[in-house]
Structure 1
Amino acid sequence: MRWSQLYVPTLREDPADADAVSHRLLVRGGFVRQLMAGHYSLLPLAVRVRAKIVDIIREEMTAIGAQEFILPALHPAEIWQRSGRWEVMGEEMFRLKDRKGADLALGMTHEEIFTVLSQELKSYRDLPQMWYQFQTKFRDEARPKSGLLRVREFTMKDSYSFDIEAGGLDRSFGLHKAAYERIFARLGLPAIPVQASSGSMGGSASVEFMSPSNAGEDLVVRCPGCDYAANTEKATSALPAVVDGPGLDAPERLDTPNARTIEELSLQHDVPAERQIKTLVYVVDDQLTLILVRGDHNLVEQKLIDTLAAKAVRPATAEEIQAALGASPGSLGAVGIAELPILADEALRGRTDMTTGANTDGVHLRGVSIERDIAVERWADLREVTAGEPCPQCGTPLEVVVTIEVGHIFKLGRKYTETLGVTVLGRDGERVVPIMGSYGIGVERALASIVETHHDDKGIVWPVSVAPFEVAVVMLGTSDEKVTEAAEGLYRQLQSERVDVLLDDRDERPGVKFRDVELIGIPYRITVGARGLADGTVEATTRATGETQSVPVAEAVEHVRKLLTAAV
């Protein structure tokens, strides 16, 4: 490709509304343009990068025996209603009606649609199957941000496995996990596989692939001493055992007129946060529920949702709390409560001599023994793990890392095949419900995440595997016949070697050309100028290191080929 024919609208200044590095550089480099919030046009350079990402994913999917489909992006409501997710997906689902008044949805994901297609499977002999596609997904994000990292329209590689039994699902899940590790390695994208929640997708085992980045919105807890890693929605730690004193024979009133927070109670009444019981009130599937965690701990709502298999969870309003408990937030407690379900975090199990609200404004209770004084209905791991807590596997202090989710794989089980009535004839002649897995990678998010990892103060530094072009041949002085002839010759030779090459034949100053090549991140630059040609050489520059070598013109193509081979 010749630069004079290529549409690359580079900018000299950062866009004012760009927060993430990838957003800033992809706009400046002429890769993307925003149409409206959460919707982006991909320009030619981005299309080239995206195509290479898709090719890598497709190669690895094919290698594990997966077959490619293309399914509709517009879905009838009836299928989502049958699975129960028409309501669950809430406002994130784009809904519309056709001219006949039928309810439709733009696909957020394709579990239901692939499951319906699997109804044509007849026998255990037809299994296992692994099916995948590259398809546009639509999610009405409340706050699209950070360019391609959080959008409302994007391409997903989603694949689905169908097996006759759990052992087969384990194999399909393992094949996908290994394929994802190879995909992210080939993309040059560091991705930590972590334990995760399945969320609205359902199922059991769930692994997210998380790429460390300050632009991320997910926190990953990982251990530097072993292989433990989990999303904070799933993470646990080995808290040191706490030995309490016997406390009081019964809870005792403590007047706290000006203490409405954990910190105020600690400062004003010398009650450490770790000796307080924080009482939270939630509405879980229309049932008012008390949630108890230690005063210095935070609740992870997804853990609550997963523990109770809840469809809808929200904090109770002040009015609902007042009506049920007779007090305002800041003075709430569970002592003596029998009419509401009470769920407590495991870190509170067995604790004595604790302090909690008395359900009277400005009053607390001290000397509380949880098992004696509170009717806990269920214990669960509900708290957020923080940095420095001991690893549950080896005891090493844990780290908390900000990350971007770039892939997610689930063991769905039989949730969708049972609901949608999929059965096959088993080996014993009985009907069997296939077991499923679901596996996704966001293509444009992967593109942006690569930029988050590979950039410097000059622009993007693409890995060779996904760069829009592998080499740029830059001619300095388009009116110089010798320069033009040498540059054109190198361009044609590199093309004949099947190198993805861009010829910068623009009539621009050298500084402009160099800045543009560095901004858009082409891995290698061959500079052809009159001064070098006088000595029979050209300059070869590596974008990642800035290293420049003088290379004889006759050896330039071989030099580039070796660089590209070494980079793979």
Structure 2
Amino acid sequence: MRASRFFISTLKEAPSDAEIVSHQLMMRAGMIKRLGSGIYTYMPTGLRIIRKVEGIIREEMNRAGAIELLMPLVQPAELWQETGRWDKMGPELMRVKDRHGREFAIQPTSEEVITDVVRSEIKSYRQLPVNFYHIQTKFRDERRPRFGLMRGREFTMKDAYSFDRDVAGMQASYQNMFDAYTRVFNRFGLKFRAVAADNGAIGGTGSHEFHVIASTGEDALVYCKESDYAANMEAAEALAIGERLAAAQALTKTSTPGKTKCEAVAELLNIPLQQHVKSIALTVENEGKKTYFLLLLRADHELNEIKVSKVAGLKDFRFSTEAEIQDVYGTVPGYLGPIGAKLPLTVVADRTVANMADFVCGANELDFHFTGANWGRDVAEPIVADLRNVVEGDASPDGKGVLAIERGIEVGHVFQLGTAYSEAMGATFLDENGKPAPLQMGCYGIGVTRILGAAIEQNFDDKGIVWPDAIAPFELVLCPMGMDRSEMVKEQVEKLYAELMAAGVDVIVDDRGLRPGAMFSDWELIGVPHRVVIGERGLKEGNLEYQGRRDDAATSVPVDGMVAFIKGKLGK
């Protein structure tokens, strides 16, 4: 590739609406161009990276035995209505009508379509297992698109779907895909972590997320340095802290005027915050009937709403209104507690709260709290559940150390779906006994275009992007000094370019005639990981100048040894 025949358009400053580093650098490097809110044109440099990402994914999917097909972007509403997701997906699912008034979805995912394909094609256990995948455009009508390709509305994903005859087969297919994803992300050259996750709206029985590690990541990842335990914050198990001691204080109603926050009460009473319990009022409505729950957390802990939704009776919870709180507790928020509510309610305590004694809680009376509250003596034993987010230093659930937390960007997710979709859509096969049985499914996704943003968030400096070799737009750039004026330089550039191409190196020659500073700045911004400078002075000494994108200084390399040197750097 020659730069004069390619399209390079860099900017000195990022557009004002580019919020995070990856968005800023991709815009400045001319890799994407904004068309509308959350919708981008992939410019030639950006598209080269996308194609390399897709190439690695295809190779590993094929290696894992998956079979590529291509499913449509526009999908009939009837399929989504079969599974109930037409209504459950909410406004993120873009719905359109054709000229005949028939409804369609602009697909955000393809579980329904692939299940429809398989229910018409797979009839016997002899055809199983099978795994289909495609790489396709997706659309999700995000409420607030932001961060460039990190949270856009239109994007590219790789979806794979496995079908098996039984749970053991599904689990084997799941492990096969998990291993394939590990190979994919290793080949990308990115630091990543696979963590146990919640299945969310997709459904199913188990899942893992793949995260690119980056300090700017939206997701908190929990892991144990002494073991293999890893989970995202939503799924990380929080063990109980401490053991319950015998009551040592009398229950005392204490005046706390105007103190609605636990921190303020702790300061007023001079009692450590860790001895306080905060109360969270929830309501569940079912067929017009309301039931009330009071959740209790240690005051310095944070509620995990995903965990709450898994407590019996709380799947469809909402936070209680102030009017409901007044009716149930007889007071205003800030003074709620498990003792003396006006109406029947269910108390659910986090594991750590269930182990507390002599704790401080609201007295269900304006401007008052209880001190010295104890389970059994002052309030009935609660339902105990894991309700909180873990914190750094918590004991690991596997008993092998303590937990640490780092930030990550989700770029892949694998699910054990089971029969959630096959049963809803009547996707069955005939087993060994000739009896129909539902197909066991797995679902596996990688955010192809999101990889670009995540990779940059992990790999950048004050000059620009630093791409890993495998997904860089070009592996190597040749930067000639005065190629238009020096026959010696031109001849060596052409010779070296031909030899590198023959060696399988993805190389571009910058033949635009720019001054060295402008030329180097462009390629440092774009993030090409390797650079060779060819100039008359070096050639007269028999040397060329090599510099890696992360190197502080250049290295002189003999002209005749440069191809072998580059191949060594690239592992070719």
Q: What is the TM-score of this pair, normalised by structure 2?
A: 0.93
Please report how far the alpha carbon of residue 381 of structure 1 lies from its aligned counterpart in structure 2 after TM superposition: 0.8
Please report how far the alpha carbon of residue 475 of structure 1 lies from its aligned counterpart in structure 2 after TM superposition: 1.5
For residue 465 of structure 1, give the secondary structure of its aligned residue in structure 2: helix
Map 1:284-295 → 2, pairs under 5 A = 284=284, 287=290, 288-295=292-299
> Percent identity of the aligned residues?
41
**Equivalence for 2:103:** 103
User: Does the aligned pair in 2 maintain the 1:213–1:404 contact within 8 Å?
Assistant: yes
Does 2:263 correspond to 1:256?
no
| CA RMSD, 1 decimal | 2.2
For residue 141 of structure 1, give the secondary structure of its aligned residue in structure 2: coil
User: Does the aligned pair in 2 maintain the 1:213–1:402 contact within 8 Å?
Assistant: yes
Does 2:532 correspond to 1:526?
yes
**Equivalence for 2:303:** 299
**Equivalence for 1:24:** 24
- Structure 2: give runs of 5+ residues left out of the alignment: none
For residue 11 of structure 2, give the secondary structure of its aligned residue in structure 1: coil
CA distance in 1, matches of 2:381, 2:92: 35
User: Does the aligned pair in 1 maintain the 2:241–2:352 contact within 8 Å?
Assistant: no
**Mean CA deviation greater in 261-270 or 44-53:** 261-270
**Equivalence for 2:386:** 381
**Equivalence for 2:470:** 465
Q: Name the aligned partner's letter for residue 169 of structure 2.
A: G
1:15-47 deviation line (CA, Å, top 9, x unaligned): 333332222221111111222232222111111
CA distance in 1, matches of 2:285, 2:193: 34
Map 1:540-551 → 2, pairs under 5 A = 540-551=546-557
The partner residue of 1:420 within 405, 421, 425 is 425
1:246-290 deviation line (CA, Å, top 9, x unaligned): 2568x5533322221111221122443333332212344655433
The partner residue of 1:539 within 523, 545, 553 is 545
Please report how far the alpha carbon of residue 54 of structure 1 lies from its aligned counterpart in structure 2 after TM superposition: 0.5
Q: Name the aligned partner's letter for residue 71 of structure 2.
A: L
CA distance in 2, matches of 1:130, 1:27: 37
**Equivalence for 2:568:** 562
CA distance in 2, matches of 1:3, 1:552: 25
Q: Name the aligned partner's letter for residue 416 of structure 2.
A: K
**Equivalence for 1:54:** 54
Q: Name the aligned partner's letter for residue 246 of structure 1.
A: A
**Mean CA deviation greater in 48-57 or 3-12:** 3-12
Please report how far the alpha carbon of residue 308 of structure 1 lies from its aligned counterpart in structure 2 after TM superposition: 4.7
**Equivalence for 1:487:** 493
Please report how far the alpha carbon of residue 9 of structure 1 lies from its aligned counterpart in structure 2 after TM superposition: 0.9
User: Does the aligned pair in 2 maintain the 1:350–1:371 contact within 8 Å?
Assistant: no
For residue 160 of structure 1, give the secondary structure of its aligned residue in structure 2: strand
CA distance in 2, matches of 1:527, 1:350: 67
For residue 257 of structure 2, give the secondary structure of its aligned residue in structure 1: coil
Please report how far the alpha carbon of residue 316 of structure 1 lies from its aligned counterpart in structure 2 after TM superposition: 2.7
**Equivalence for 2:63:** 63
Aligned pair count reads 565
**Equivalence for 1:514:** 520
Map 1:39-188 → 2, pairs under 5 A = 39-120=39-120, 121-188=122-189
- Check 1:395–1:556 CA distance in 2 against 1; reply closer, same or farther (3 A cut): closer
Q: Name the aligned partner's letter for residue 104 of structure 1.
A: F
**Equivalence for 1:331:** 335
User: Does the aligned pair in 2 maintain the 1:188–1:450 contact within 8 Å?
Assistant: no
CA distance in 2, matches of 1:40, 1:310: 40
Map 1:390-469 → 2, pairs under 5 A = 390-394=395-399, 396-469=401-474
User: Does the aligned pair in 1 maintain the 2:76–2:103 contact within 8 Å?
Assistant: yes
User: Does the aligned pair in 2 maintain the 1:189–1:449 contact within 8 Å?
Assistant: no
For residue 514 of structure 1, give the secondary structure of its aligned residue in structure 2: helix
User: Does the aligned pair in 1 maintain the 2:340–2:363 contact within 8 Å?
Assistant: no
- Check 1:353–1:554 CA distance in 2 against 1; reply closer, same or farther (3 A cut): closer
Q: Name the aligned partner's letter for residue 230 of structure 1.
A: A
Please report how far the alpha carbon of residue 81 of structure 1 lies from its aligned counterpart in structure 2 after TM superposition: 2.4
CA distance in 1, matches of 2:2, 2:16: 31
CA distance in 2, matches of 1:289, 1:134: 45
- Check 1:58–1:485 CA distance in 2 against 1; reply closer, same or farther (3 A cut): same
1:164-222 deviation line (CA, Å, top 9, x unaligned): 11111111111111111111110011111111111111112111112221221100111
Map 1:215-294 → 2, pairs under 5 A = 215-246=216-247, 252-284=252-284, 287=290, 288-294=292-298
Please report how far the alpha carbon of residue 159 of structure 1 lies from its aligned counterpart in structure 2 after TM superposition: 1.0
Please report how far the alpha carbon of residue 94 of structure 1 lies from its aligned counterpart in structure 2 after TM superposition: 1.6
Q: What is the TM-score of this pair, normalised by structure 1?
A: 0.93
- Check 1:40–1:309 CA distance in 2 against 1; reply closer, same or farther (3 A cut): farther
Does 2:359 correspond to 1:354?
yes
- Check 1:305–1:376 CA distance in 2 against 1; reply closer, same or farther (3 A cut): farther
CA distance in 2, matches of 1:551, 1:253: 81
CA distance in 2, matches of 1:522, 1:150: 25
Does 2:325 correspond to 1:321?
yes
Q: Name the aligned partner's letter for residue 161 of structure 1.
A: S
Please report how far the alpha carbon of residue 123 of structure 1 lies from its aligned counterpart in structure 2 after TM superposition: 1.2
For residue 33 of structure 1, give the secondary structure of its aligned residue in structure 2: strand
User: Does the aligned pair in 2 maintain the 1:253–1:363 contact within 8 Å?
Assistant: yes
- Check 1:294–1:549 CA distance in 2 against 1; reply closer, same or farther (3 A cut): closer
**Equivalence for 1:3:** 3
For residue 471 of structure 2, give the secondary structure of its aligned residue in structure 1: coil
CA distance in 2, matches of 1:366, 1:562: 70
CA distance in 2, matches of 1:476, 1:359: 79
CA distance in 2, matches of 1:500, 1:530: 24
CA distance in 1, matches of 2:381, 2:29: 58
For residue 80 of structure 1, give the secondary structure of its aligned residue in structure 2: helix
User: Does the aligned pair in 1 maintain the 2:221–2:407 contact within 8 Å?
Assistant: yes
User: Does the aligned pair in 2 maintain the 1:239–1:389 contact within 8 Å?
Assistant: no
Q: Name the aligned partner's letter for residue 482 of structure 1.
A: M
CA distance in 1, matches of 2:452, 2:481: 31
Please report how far the alpha carbon of residue 480 of structure 1 lies from its aligned counterpart in structure 2 after TM superposition: 2.1
